[in-house]
Structure 1
Amino acid sequence: MKQKSRLLHVARMAIGLWGATALAPANAQTFFPKDVDQSQCSLGTSEFETWITLPMFGLTSPVYDETSGMPYIFPVNGPDFANTTANHCDFYKWGAQMFLWMTSTIDDIGKQPAKPQYPATLPFVFNTEFFYRLSNDQTKLLAQGENVQSDNLAISLRTAKNDEDESIGQAGGNGVLLTQPPAETGKQSSLTYYGIHTNRQYDYFLSLYKNLLSGKTKGTPLASQFPTTAAETCAILKYAEQNNYVEKGLIPTFIEKKLCPKNGNDTAVTATAAPAATAPGSSIIPQIEPAVDFLSLAVEVKTSWVETASLPTGSKNKYIRQNLQIPIYDRTNPNHWTVKDSATREMALVGMHVVGTVKGHPEMIWATIEHENNAPNGLYYYMNDKKQVVAVSDPQTKTGWTYSNGDIVDTVTEYAKGCDDSTMPAGCVAKSDIVSADGNDPIAPSNVTRLNPWGIKQVPTTTTTDAVSQTTQIISLNRDVKRHLKAQSPTDPRQYYFLSGAVWTSDGSIPEKSTAKAITGSPMLANTSMETFEQSSGCFGCHNTFKSPNGLKISHIFEGISPDLPTVSGK
């Protein structure tokens, strides 16, 4: 990547992690028991160091964002994932590490700033050239990063389709989610908005797969599943290079030859020694793009956002934030809201789905992350450090939740619907409208509870069960990740997010239906900001092949996207 100053005004999606107890305010926060048994899933200091260094390319010390001081977390080495020996904890760690990678920034240098700052313009990995974003009509992939044309920067979180792209509708239906009424005078509830991004490896594969299938590119068609091996990854990177989808240069060439020695290269370079060290004060991460693409494999991300202005005063630095363009609604009619304008607003990340492949798992690992103040958990059971099973129910406090009034509920009631659906709800006029869910009660926030904490059906028990074990592992991992983030950068906002769970298949099979026996981990996983009203079926309830032999149907967006990607010269 050429060394140029970064454009920090990119408006795009972002991410955050890790429930904190001591660092959160006295009001709402997801509770992580301090006495949780850590023998089944822990993240020690030496292992965390492998997340923040990349010795194979000379990065033996952490690098930090030049503005915020946040450490850069590298993606999991997907092609080298120990799929035959991995336990559940390894898959949960994948979700945590990949989230932290995507919410790292690419303006990283070798030291932390004296006075960290957290503007809403930080260049997070998922809103830079490492990822593409979908066009509003869901047919094209748009470039991100420096030198991107202004029309691509003006992302619009529009009222759109109920499961994809930038929208206000939720997965599985057209329910619309609002935040709880702020306690402070002058603030109002925010709508929740959604967006989707895919990484370059996903998109290079998509382009190669479709062009081979159509005959535009000569060669044998690829298998109908996402890439999981080093050989597949190297072939995809070579295709991207040949088609001018990625920049060339001495360092990228060296890295590609080291990772993919069978890939020919036009640039003569000896791959026996690392290139010269990066100059102090220059951005390091953009120089090693091929390594990041290689390690990450195929990744798809869905994010959820609320207006920062709706949050309690003084809390915004505990959120990952971006300036995004959103529709502004006329709320005069309590049963029927209409779009009156659009505006760029500072938005706070409240949730993220992180979905991606590793060696042996073309079905993808499906992990979800939430902000600790989103909503309380219902009753769950974990094992403490005395090997006793303990019952816990949030909230530890009833105030300050983004989506809950503090009362635990068994069912989340829907009070608003979006009109952009194949069958418009009663009262709709335009597809961008929002109407009362039942036509009588006014549009209002829902009182939200996480009905299946940690994505697991919680059954009353006093003995160790698989549900207790999985719950215990996820809680333990979250506590460790939060601890390491705080040690690296005490004000890192990612410490206020947490891994809610992850789901995959035990044998790497791609589910043909939601009840496939191989589904494991957090089978009832739901994000309270995304599947608020559909918390009973889990990720594979919607994302399966429905008995099709085409494993790519696991992704709802793959089929409709054009294989024509932006070239480097088009950036």
Structure 2
Amino acid sequence: MKYLSLIILMLAGSALSGQTIPQDAYPKCPVDQKTFDKWFLSGNPSVNGFVKPADSVGFSESSVCDFYAWSKQMFLWLTSQSAGTRVFDSSTFYDVSPADSSHQRKFLPHGRGPITHLMAPRFAKEGPHGLPIIEDKSGDLFEVVQPSIDDSGKQIVVDNTGSIVEVSKASITGNHKLAFQDRSGKNIELPSPTAHKSDSEAANAIQTAREFIVNGRPVFVDSSDNIIDVDQGQAGSFGVLESQTDGLVYYLSMTNDVYAYFLTGVKNDAIPATQFPTTKTDLDAIERYAAAHGKPGFTDAQALTLELKSSWIEVDERTKKSYITTTATIPTYNKSDPKKWIPNGEKQVTLGLLGLHIVGSVAGHPEMIWATFEHFGDTPNALYSYINAQQLPVSVPQSTAGTWGFSASNSTGPFNVAHMKVDGANIVAESGFSITPSDSLRVYPWGAAGGNASANTFLISIQNSISALMPKGDIRSNYFLVGATWTTSGNAPPAGQAGATNVANSTLETYTQKPGGCFLCHVSRPTPSLAPNALSHIFGGESTGLQPLFPSAALGSK
């Protein structure tokens, strides 16, 4: 069987060669011109023209294509520009602060003028409690509690009497357990495993691991004190991603105003909710609550609740021409030590968008649609297949040839191995590495296993269809829909997971690309649930996660 011709989408003004997209995939998801025209506010597609948000309240489905079309329209809306401001930078959206020591976050409102975000370089894959995630070789996930360090820089543990003891030496015993000695060389007796089993493991399911440093290397143990077998380069803390041109990747979370007032109403006991809003009745209740508290209306209420997570890289006058950009304040570092960078200030820069998660509730789907987009120049694809116009399967081999943001040209791996991590405010090298770029690979190019040609074809088809309709020169054409997932009939995940079930973003989930995709982490275990705090890691419980925009007592909401 011969390979079909492929077109390489070269990015104007960029040194990156970009993805190859098969051009004669079977048209499983065509978007017609009339439908596409209606997406634009003017009714007439134009270069960088303003696109309306998808109607989440009126969402209806006849095939997976409806979910992918919702995703594409939402991306075009969020990245539309009006009066010099992208929609995601407008007052419709709020930044979400990082979790503090109590696992609480805050809404950070956008003003009506230009905004400068605060961003930091850390790997953004978090568990339900804002902790970093590792994966063992069998595929199980663990949230990691980092080691406690005293003022002298020594690791400390709590012994079986409840006393805090400094660890002078750590080792692995013959029966594959951890052993610690104190300053005098005496063995430290630790509490029994059941004494430190975490609430999150008992109630919500991703298991909890503790990190210890043994001979300069991280070692992870589960709640039974068994050492967890992980691959080299697993980040026990938040891994840091660096481009091939030595640019760090920065991360940002946001929600829209409907989400903010919905959460505030729920946590102030003013809006009863067991799931994210999906109906006009749900939306009406949120709008009434917002109006009663000084917000007369939402500009784009039909979008319902939206949660965004994005990845960014610093760009200059030459490279920014191919990126959607924003302004941010980022830390600067003393880089004299190749194994430890220490912050020494901050600077305001222009950042280019690398990847974007769009998560939103729609009619009939309180579990939400989980979609992700990437810049064409990010990362090469692993092997995948699709169905061509003659309805025959075609295999596209893995290739790292060309110039990529996150892989060396013609690299043979190893791929997706963290070389460094965040340690407090510092960036430190992982054991065996210096602070250097690693090579990334998109393990599931279209969110499905390599052999799932039919599933891949839906996404390739809608990509080609909309690319053909987009006005030439529109900067948003430099991004593509990697995939989206949801569940059939709005079931609590992971039951009935549909769409691109293994979807992952190579700049947002670089080190955790596994079967199950988004619902590997955004799910309640052992009992599936549609509760907002079960699906959204930032939503949190009554006293954790995002805090209300305002307290209920001050406004008499309860």
Give your verdict on TM over 0.5. yes
Equivalent residue, structure 1, for 2:368: 364
Provide the C-alpha distance between the structure 2 equivalents of 1:339 and 1:242, rounded to a whole number of angstroms: 44
Equivalent residue, structure 1, for 2:68: 92
Q: Work out whether residues 164 and 196 of structure 1, in 8 Å CA contact, stay in contact via their aligned partners in 2.
A: no
Higher helix content, 1 or 2: 1
2:260 equivalent to 1:203: yes
Per the alignment, in what secondary structure is the counterpart of residue 489 of structure 2? coil
Equivalent residue, structure 2, for 1:305: 312
Residue 105 of structure 1 and its aligned partner are, at CA, apart by 1.9
Q: Work out whether residues 122 and 250 of structure 2, in 8 Å CA contact, stay in contact via their aligned partners in 1.
A: no
Equivalent residue, structure 1, for 2:453: 468
Equivalent residue, structure 1, for 2:490: 508
Per the alignment, in what secondary structure is the counterpart of residue 453 of structure 1? coil
Pick from 92, 97, 100: which aligns with 1:130?
Answer: 92
Provide the C-alpha distance between the structure 1 equivalents of 2:77 and 2:428, rounded to a whole number of angstroms: 38
Q: How does 1:168-567 map to 2 (within 5 A)?
A: 174-181=238-245, 189-212=246-269, 217=270, 222-246=272-296, 289-290=298-299, 292-293=300-301, 295-309=302-316, 314-395=318-399, 398-406=401-409, 407-409=411-413, 411-419=415-423, 431-438=424-431, 440-459=432-451, 467-485=452-470, 487=471, 490-511=472-493, 516-537=494-515, 538-546=517-525, 547=527, 549=529, 551-552=531-532, 553-559=534-540, 560-565=545-550
Sort the Cα spacing of 1:31 and 1:171 in 2 relative to 1 into closer, same or farther, 3 A.
farther
The amino acid that maps onto 1:207 is: T
Q: Residues 332-386 of structure 1, C-alpha deviation per residue, up to 9 Å, x if partnerless? A: 1111111111000111110000000100101111000000000110110011111
Sort the Cα spacing of 1:130 and 1:63 in 2 relative to 1 into closer, same or farther, 3 A.
farther
Residue 147 of structure 1 and its aligned partner are, at CA, apart by 6.1
Q: Work out whether residues 523 and 529 of structure 2, in 8 Å CA contact, stay in contact via their aligned partners in 1.
A: no
Provide the C-alpha distance between the structure 2 equivalents of 1:565 and 1:63, rounded to a whole number of angstroms: 40
Give 5+ residue unaligned stretches, structure 1.
1-18, 54-59, 108-121, 182-188, 248-288, 420-430, 460-466, 567-571
The amino acid that maps onto 1:404 is: S
Residue 127 of structure 1 and its aligned partner are, at CA, apart by 1.0
Q: Residues 116-139 of structure 1, C-alpha deviation per residue, up to 9 Å, x if partnerless? A: xxxxxx311111111111235553
Q: Work out whether residues 326 and 345 of structure 1, in 8 Å CA contact, stay in contact via their aligned partners in 2.
A: yes
Q: Work out whether residues 360 and 370 of structure 2, in 8 Å CA contact, stay in contact via their aligned partners in 1.
A: yes
Provide the C-alpha distance between the structure 1 equivalents of 2:324 and 2:338, rounded to a whole number of angstroms: 31
The amino acid that maps onto 2:347 is: A
State, as a whole percentage, how many aligned pairs show the same letter: 33
Report how many residues are paired: 429
What TM-score do you get using the length of structure 1 for normalisation?
Answer: 0.70
Residue 238 of structure 1 and its aligned partner are, at CA, apart by 1.6
Per the alignment, in what secondary structure is the counterpart of residue 20 of structure 2? coil
Provide the C-alpha distance between the structure 2 equivalents of 1:319 and 1:177, rounded to a whole number of angstroms: 18
Q: Work out whether residues 506 and 519 of structure 1, in 8 Å CA contact, stay in contact via their aligned partners in 2.
A: yes
Provide the C-alpha distance between the structure 2 equivalents of 1:315 and 1:170, rounded to a whole number of angstroms: 31
The structure whose Rg is larger is 2
Pick from 108, 111, 122: which aligns with 1:145?
Answer: 111
Q: Residues 477-505 of structure 1, C-alpha deviation per residue, up to 9 Å, x if partnerless? A: 112222222x2xx3221101000000110
Per the alignment, in what secondary structure is the counterpart of residue 454 of structure 1? coil
Q: Work out whether residues 20 and 496 of structure 1, in 8 Å CA contact, stay in contact via their aligned partners in 2.
A: no
Per the alignment, in what secondary structure is the counterpart of residue 50 of structure 1? helix
Q: Work out whether residues 452 and 525 of structure 1, in 8 Å CA contact, stay in contact via their aligned partners in 2.
A: yes
Provide the C-alpha distance between the structure 2 equivalents of 1:141 and 1:81, rounded to a whole number of angstroms: 28
Per the alignment, in what secondary structure is the counterpart of residue 380 of structure 2? coil
Q: Work out whether residues 377 and 394 of structure 1, in 8 Å CA contact, stay in contact via their aligned partners in 2.
A: yes
* CA RMSD in angstroms, aligned pairs only: 2.7
Provide the C-alpha distance between the structure 2 equivalents of 1:101 and 1:383, rounded to a whole number of angstroms: 30
Q: Residues 80-137 of structure 1, C-alpha deviation per residue, up to 9 Å, x if partnerless? A: 111xx43111111111111111101233xxxxxxxxxxxxxx3111111111112355
The amino acid that maps onto 2:477 is: Q
Higher strand content, 1 or 2: 2
What TM-score do you get using the length of structure 2 for normalisation?
Answer: 0.72
Residue 159 of structure 1 and its aligned partner are, at CA, apart by 5.2
Equivalent residue, structure 1, for 2:147: none
Per the alignment, in what secondary structure is the counterpart of residue 332 of structure 1? strand
Q: Work out whether residues 15 and 319 of structure 2, in 8 Å CA contact, stay in contact via their aligned partners in 1.
A: no
Q: Which has the higher contact order (CA 8 A, sep 6+)?
A: 1
Provide the C-alpha distance between the structure 1 equivalents of 2:10 and 2:251, rounded to a whole number of angstroms: 30
Residue 145 of structure 1 and its aligned partner are, at CA, apart by 3.1
Provide the C-alpha distance between the structure 2 equivalents of 1:356 and 1:241, rounded to a whole number of angstroms: 22
Q: How does 1:40-51 map to 2 (within 5 A)?
A: 40-51=28-39
Provide the C-alpha distance between the structure 2 equivalents of 1:223 and 1:539, rounded to a whole number of angstroms: 23
